Copies of this chain bind each other. A is one copy, B any other.
Amino acid sequence: MTTPYEQLAKLSITLPPVGVPAAAYVPFAQTGNLIFLSGHIAKKYDSGAAIVWTGKLGENLMTADGNAAARAVAIDLLGTLEAACKAAGKDLNAVKRIVKIMGLVNSTDSYTEQHLVINGASELIAEVFGSSVGSHARSAFGVIQLPLGACVEIEMMVEI
């Protein structure tokens, strides 16, 4: 059995610390054995500092860009998920199931590849957790705009 940590190491991914929400809410909330992660907007690193990954699919970003942004969001979500697990006295090995994600794609009114964008997150999750823990339900759709102009926002629900 491979652990999520072994998979992350194989992928050369270091989980980031939990980001500070831009507003009056918290990054995650647990009820029973379910953890609800807030919508995380896409960020990229510029000289080591995280800045918002802005843009609109169909306008100034290609599907491959959006896919990379969604993968980056998934890594940030896993960082928050690890913090949530630790708050419960556990770690990522305690994840029983990635239940569902909701993926929002900043889109023009003619861009129709939101599912391919959000695959960037879904595929990373499957790589890290394997197909039985990592295979999740999902909704993906286009939105007219996101906070701070981000190109992608994803929220996640997890069973531990």
Contact = CB atoms under 8 A, between A and B. Distances in A.
A10 B107 contact: no
Q: How many copies does the complex hold?
A: 3
Given A130-B7, A131-B10, A115 B22 contact: yes
Interface stretch (A43-51, A86-94, A137-145): A137-145
Contact of A137 (B29, B104, B122, B139): B29
Contacts of A147: 112-115, 140-141
A31 B31 contact: no
A118 B157 CA distance: 21
Interface string A19-37: 0011111111101111011
Contacts of A113: 147
Interface in A71-109: 96-102, 104, 107-109
Given A25-B122, A36-B137, A142-B144, 10 more contacts: A14-B131, A25-B137, A25-B138, A29-B97, A31-B33, A31-B99, A32-B159, A39-B139, A112-B145, A141-B147
Interface of A: 1-2, 4, 6-7, 10-11, 14, 21-29, 31-34, 36-39, 56, 96-102, 104, 107-116, 118-119, 122-123, 126-127, 130-131, 135-149, 153, 155, 157, 159
